[in-house]
C-alpha cells in the first residue's frame, strides 16, 4: 500500500501516479511567459508565426495549443473559456488536466491597411477610348481588383478613368484574365526599404 506524502491518502482510497495520489501529482506544464497575437482593427487579419492571414479561431487555438510544453500526449485550447486541456497517458490511463491561460490580442493596423490608408499604389490602370465601354470596364476592373488587392484612388478625367492600385502584379493578372491588349510604362518613383521602387502605368483603349 502507498501513502501519499502530500495528503496522506492511501492507495486503497485513491489511484496513484508514482509516489503521489492522482490529486496531488503535479503535471508539469511549461506555459509561454506571454503570448500575443497582432490583430488588424481595420480588416481583422491576424499575425500568426510571422505571417498575416485571415482570422480563423480554430487555427489560432491550434497555434496556442502548440506553444505548451510537457509530457502530455495532446493539448487543446479554447479561446472562449481561455482554457487549456492536457491529456496525459500514464500507465494506460488517460488523465485530463485543465488549466487557465490567457492570450493577448493586440489591435494594430496590418501592413496592407497601412498602405491603403496612406494612399499607397504600385500601378495605375488607365481606361481610355469610347466613353461607355471604358466606364463599364473600369467599373468591372474596380470590383475585381478590390477583391485581390486594394484600389486607393479612382480619378475620373476628361480622357478617361484612372485606378490607383495597391499591387502591380494583380493588375497584370487582371489584364491577362481579360485578354486585352495594353500599353505599359514604368517610372522610377523613389526608394522603398533601400530598393528602387517603380510604378507602372497600364493603358487600355476601347474603340
Ligand atoms: Zn495526495
Ligand atoms: Zn488590415
Mean pLDDT of 126-140: 96
Report which DSSP code applies to 3. Answer: B
Give pLDDT, residue 191. Answer: 78
Q: Are residues 20 and 101 in the same domain?
A: yes
Give pLDDT, residue 115. Answer: 83
Answer with the residue of higher pLDDT: 68 or 118: 68
On the question of pLDDT at 6 being above 80, the answer is: yes
Q: Are residues 95 and 141 in the same domain?
A: no
Query: Which ligand neighbours the alpha carbon of 4 most closely?
Result: 1
Q: Are residues 96 and 124 in the same domain?
A: no
The verdict on residue 5 lying in a domain is: no
Query: Which ligand neighbours the alpha carbon of 55 most closely?
Result: 2
Answer with the residue of higher pLDDT: 91 or 37: 37
Phi/psi region, residue 50 (left: phi>0; alpha: psi -120 to 50; beta: rest), is left
Q: Are residues 46 and 79 in the same domain?
A: yes
Q: Are residues 173 and 144 in the same domain?
A: yes
Query: Which ligand neighbours the alpha carbon of 112 most closely?
Result: 2
* Cα(45) to centroid(ligand 2), Å: 6
Tell me the pLDDT tens digit for each residue of 19-31. 899 889 988 899 9
Answer with the residue of higher pLDDT: 141 or 116: 141
Q: How confident is the model at residue 175 (pLDDT cuts 50, 70, 90)?
A: very high
* Cα(207) to centroid(ligand 2), Å: 39
Mean pLDDT of 74-89: 96
Give pLDDT, residue 48. Answer: 93
Q: Are residues 34 and 104 in the same domain?
A: yes
Those residues with Cβ within 8 angstroms of residue 31's Cβ, 6 or more apart along the chain or in another chain: 67, 68, 99, 101
Domain of 77, in residue numbers: 16-108
The verdict on residue 50 lying in a domain is: yes
Cell numbers representing residue 130 in the block = 469610347
**Of 108, 141, 161, the domain-final residue:** 108
Q: Are residues 92 and 131 in the same domain?
A: no
Give pLDDT, residue 32. Answer: 95
On the question of pLDDT at 118 being above 90, the answer is: no
Please tell me the pTM assigned to this model.
0.63
Phi, psi of 130 (to 5 degrees): -55, 130
Q: Are residues 87 and 136 in the same domain?
A: no
Amino acid at each position: 500500500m502507498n501513502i501519499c506524502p502530500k495528503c496522506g491518502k492511501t492507495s486503497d482510497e485513491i489511484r496513484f501516479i508514482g509516489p503521489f495520489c492522482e490529486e496531488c501529482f503535479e503535471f508539469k506544464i511549461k506555459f509561454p511567459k506571454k503570448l500575443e497575437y497582432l490583430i488588424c482593427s481595420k480588416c481583422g487579419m491576424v499575425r500568426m508565426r510571422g505571417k498575416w492571414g485571415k482570422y480563423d479561431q480554430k487555427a489560432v487555438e491550434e497555434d496556442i495549443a502548440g506553444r505548451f510544453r510537457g509530457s502530455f500526449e495532446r493539448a487543446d485550447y479554447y479561446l472562449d473559456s481561455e482554457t487549456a486541456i492536457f491529456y496525459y497517458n500514464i500507465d494506460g490511463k488517460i488523465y485530463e488536466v485543465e488549466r487557465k491561460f490567457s492570450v493577448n490580442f493586440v489591435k494594430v493596423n496590418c501592413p496592407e491597411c497601412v498602405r491603403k490608408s496612406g494612399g499607397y499604389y504600385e500601378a495605375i490602370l488607365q481606361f481610355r477610348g469610347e466613353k461607355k465601354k471604358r466606364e463599364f470596364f473600369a467599373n468591372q476592373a474596380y470590383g475585381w481588383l478590390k477583391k485581390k488587392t486594394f484600389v486607393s484612388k479612382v480619378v475620373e478625367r476628361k480622357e478617361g478613368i484612372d485606378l490607383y492600385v495597391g499591387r502591380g502584379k494583380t493588375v497584370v493578372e487582371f489584364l491577362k484574365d481579360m485578354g486585352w491588349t495594353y500599353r505599359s510604362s514604368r517610372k522610377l518613383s523613389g526608394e522603398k526599404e533601400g530598393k528602387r521602387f517603380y510604378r507602372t502605368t497600364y493603358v487600355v483603349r476601347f474603340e
